[in-house]
Amino acid sequence: MQQVLDAYRVRGAEHFQGSPECFKLGTAVAAVQGEFEKLKLDETQAVVSKVYAEYKPQIKAARARYLAEHPDWKDK
C-alpha cells in the first residue's frame, strides 16, 4: 500500500489513473468491497433501530391519529 501512496504522491491525481499502482489499488478495493458493503448496511441498520427506538411513541401516536382521520384506509 505504501507503494501506491508514494506513486499517487509523485504522479498526482491526474497521472495516477492507469498506472500499475492504480490497478493494484483497484484490486485491493475489489477484494474488500463485499465486506465494506455489509459493514455499511450493518451501521445503517443500527442507526435506523436507534432512531426508531427513540421516536417509537411519536410514530405510534401519529399512526393512531392517521388511522382515526382516515377510517377507510386499509393496511396492506
Predicted confidence band of residue 1 (pLDDT cuts 50, 70, 90): confident
Look at residue 26 and tell me if it is in a domain. Answer: yes
Look at residue 48 and tell me if it is in a domain. Answer: yes
Nearest residue to 22 via CA among 50, 1, 43, 49: 1
Predicted confidence band of residue 69 (pLDDT cuts 50, 70, 90): very high
Q: Rounded to whole angstroms, how far apart are CA atoms 74 and 44?
A: 30
Look at residue 19 and tell me if it is in a domain. Answer: yes
For residue 10, the enclosing domain spans 2-69
Look at residue 25 and tell me if it is in a domain. Answer: yes
Look at residue 30 and tell me if it is in a domain. Answer: yes
Q: Looking at residue 51, what is its pLDDT?
A: 97
Look at residue 76 and tell me if it is in a domain. Answer: no
pTM over 0.85: no
Question: For the chain, what is the domain count?
Answer: 1
Q: Looking at residue 73, what is its pLDDT?
A: 87
Q: What is the mean pLDDT of residues 26-45?
A: 95
Look at residue 51 and tell me if it is in a domain. Answer: yes
Q: Rounded to whole angstroms, how far apart are CA atoms 22 and 52?
A: 42
